[in-house]
C-alpha cells in the first residue's frame, strides 16, 4: 500500500485570512491614524494589537500627553485607542506607534472648533513660568498668559501658580494658529462668562418670582 503523507493544514492561513492581512498591512502606512487594542504595559511603553495580527508598540516617549497620570491608570488591557503609525519596519518586527501624535490631531480640531464657536474647553495645568501657565488639552500643550489666569486669593503669585499644578481649568480660546503651533487661552474670560450666565439666571428667577 502506497504511503500517503499527511499534511496538516490547520495552522496554514486561509486565502481570506491572507487577503485580510494584506489589506490591513496596506492601511498601516506611516502617518495614518489606526485603531489598536492594548495588550500590555510596562516601563518601556504599551504593546498593542493593530490591524490583522500585527503587533505594535507605543514607546513611553509617545505617551507623554497623559501626564501626570500613569499609563496603568489611563489605559487598561483590552482598551481600543487611536494611534498614529510612525514606522512599519521597526526593530523586533513591531510597528512603532504614537498615542500623543494621534491625540494632537484630535485636540487641534477640538481647540479650533472651540475658537470658531466661542465655546469653553477644559484642560489640566501641567506647568507655569513668569509668562503664565501651560495647560494640557487632550495632549495638546496650550498656554494661558498670566493676565488671563485666575489666581487663588491669599497667596503670593508664585505660590498661587504652583497650587494650580494638576488642577483642571475651564478656559476660552483667544488665539489659535495650528501652523504656528499656537493655542492661547483665557481662564478669566471663561470665568467671567460663567458669572454672567449665573447672574442672568438669578435675575430671571427674581423676575419670575415677582409675577
Spans of the chain, pLDDT less than 50: 1, 3, 7, 16-24
pLDDT of residue 36: 93
Burial pattern 147-180, b for ≥16 Cβ within 10 A else e, equals: ebbbbeeeeeeeebbeebeeeebbbbbeebeeee
Domain with CATH 2.40.50.140 in the chain: 15-102, 118-210
pLDDT value of position 198: 58
Between CA 183 and CA 138, with CA 105 as vertex, the angle to 5 degrees is 65
pTM beyond 0.85, yes or no:
no
59 forms bridges with which residues in the sheet? 45
15-102 folds as OB fold (Dihydrolipoamide Acetyltransferase, E2P) (2.40.50)
Q: What is the pLDDT of residue 48?
A: 94
pLDDT given at position 65: 78
- Give the per-residue pLDDT at 170: 96
Asked whether the beta carbons of 163 and 154 are under 8 A apart, the reply is no
Segment 139-168, tens digit of pLDDT = 899 999 999 999 999 999 999 999 999 999
| CATH hierarchy code of domain 118-210 | 2.40.50.140
Residue 98: per-residue pLDDT? 94
Amino acid at each position: 500500500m502506497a504511503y500517503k503523507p499527511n499534511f496538516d493544514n490547520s495552522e496554514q492561513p486561509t486565502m481570506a485570512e491572507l487577503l485580510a492581512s494584506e489589506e490591513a498591512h496596506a492601511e498601516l502606512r506611516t502617518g495614518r491614524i489606526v485603531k489598536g487594542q492594548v495588550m500590555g504595559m510596562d516601563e518601556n511603553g504599551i504593546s498593542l494589537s493593530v490591524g490583522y495580527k500585527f503587533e505594535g508598540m507605543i514607546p513611553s516617549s509617545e505617551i507623554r500627553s497623559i501626564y501626570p497620570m500613569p499609563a496603568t491608570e489611563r489605559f487598561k488591557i483590552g482598551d481600543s485607542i487611536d494611534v498614529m503609525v510612525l514606522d512599519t519596519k521597526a526593530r523586533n518586527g513591531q510597528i512603532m506607534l504614537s498615542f500623543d501624535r494621534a491625540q494632537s490631531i484630535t485636540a487641534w480640531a477640538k481647540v479650533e472648533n472651540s475658537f470658531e464657536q466661542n465655546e469653553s474647553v477644559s484642560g489640566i495645568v501641567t506647568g507655569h513660568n513668569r509668562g503664565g501657565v501651560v495647560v494640557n488639552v487632550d495632549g495638546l500643550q496650550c498656554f494661558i498668559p498670566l493676565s488671563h489666569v485666575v489666581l487663588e486669593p491669599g497667596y503670593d503669585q508664585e505660590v498661587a501658580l504652583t497650587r494650580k499644578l494638576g488642577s483642571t481649568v475651564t478656559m476660552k480660546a483667544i488665539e489659535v494658529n495650528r501652523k504656528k503651533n499656537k493655542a492661547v487661552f483665557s481662564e478669566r474670560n471663561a470665568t467671567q462668562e460663567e458669572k454672567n450666565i449665573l447672574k442672568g439666571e438669578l435675575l430671571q428667577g427674581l423676575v419670575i418670582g415677582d409675577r
